[in-house]
Amino acid sequence: MSKMSENADCTFPSQFQNSTYEDSYKGTLTFTTNTMTGWQMVAYGNTVTRWQCHIATSYDVSNGGLLVFK
């Protein structure tokens, strides 16, 4: 089982921290150690533009990983 961090202790795997990724649908996704911007969504009339790490498992190329945002 992969190591999992949750809530206040949640940080993204090192491959994502302080980096940017180009998403072909949404554009540039910008990651810090525990937040992501660039993926906007309207929920209950509010536009969400910043997502916080909620759950993250360790990540490797062969097995992938799991990132849950809130």
| Entry pTM | 0.75
Q: What pLDDT digit, counting tens, does each position of 32-62 carry?
A: 999 999 999 998 999 999 999 998 887 776 6
Whole-angstrom distance, CA of residue 37 vs CA of residue 19: 11
pLDDT class of 7 with cuts at 50, 70, 90:
low
| Burial 6-22, CB ≥16 within 10 A → b, else e | eeeebebbeebeeeeee
**Which amino acid would we find at residue 58?**
S
Backbone angles phi, psi at 30, to 5 degrees: -115, 125
Confidence of residue 19 (pLDDT cuts 50, 70, 90): very high
